[in-house]
Structure 1
Amino acid sequence: EMRHSPRLDGRGNLSEKSVEGLHNTLCGILSAAVDEGYLTHNPAWRCYKPKGKKKERPVADEETVKKLITAFEGQSMKYETYFKLVLATGLRRGEACGLKWSDINWRKRTIHVQRGVVKLSHQESITKDP
């Protein structure tokens, strides 16, 4: 029903992102009510159905990745390392920025993501669990 509700400014209906955000907010409030013992279950849980499939994001092909790696070589080691790591692992920006040396197991050649860094406009960076 919310998908067909008009926006307050009168410019069409609510976007899918708005509907999803409203559901998430309501679901969070009702989950807190369950945690506090006011409700036995969350009635909003599982009632939201996305309006179709999410758009697939384009992924760089092998040739583009090779060009990027070549462009980074010889640049600042910090940026070269960062971008090569992101390209090789698929880490998100916040996950890569949250890495510490202790997150790397050199013997097993693995990286364990234990935190992410979020930067909000005009605020300090926040480190949080992924």
Structure 2
Amino acid sequence: MSTGERPPAGDGAGALSALVVLRPAGGASAGPATAESVAAMLPEQAAVAAVRDWFVDHGFDVTAMHGNSMAIQGPAPLFARTFKEAGPPEPGRPLPLELLPDEVSRHIEAIATTPPPDFGPPP
């Protein structure tokens, strides 16, 4: 685990998570992912460190990078304070980047909570 990353705390009960997608190095969108374009989609390591460190410093658990994204996890009140939400964020809806400082938001393409798993119809 590299500096600034923490494993998820506890069992995750009552915690929310979101996927943070970082901008490609150079900032331009690389378009659809293909075998030829995947390397162009990766963010700069300095951007990864800046985003990861900001979220860790503000109380989130942060996973390692996977491709161009990392996951953040924390209690609902932490998400509400950070993203000025009245309640828990709606699953799948993008979170507002303009509430984050520019030195962090300029590296982020999008942040969205993940919908809960759907294992089919209830019994």
Judging by fraction of residues, say which structure has more strand.
Answer: 2
Q: TM-score, normalised by structure 1?
A: 0.20
- Higher relative CO (Cα under 8 Å, sequence separation at least 6) belongs to 2
Judging by fraction of residues, say which structure has more helix.
Answer: 1
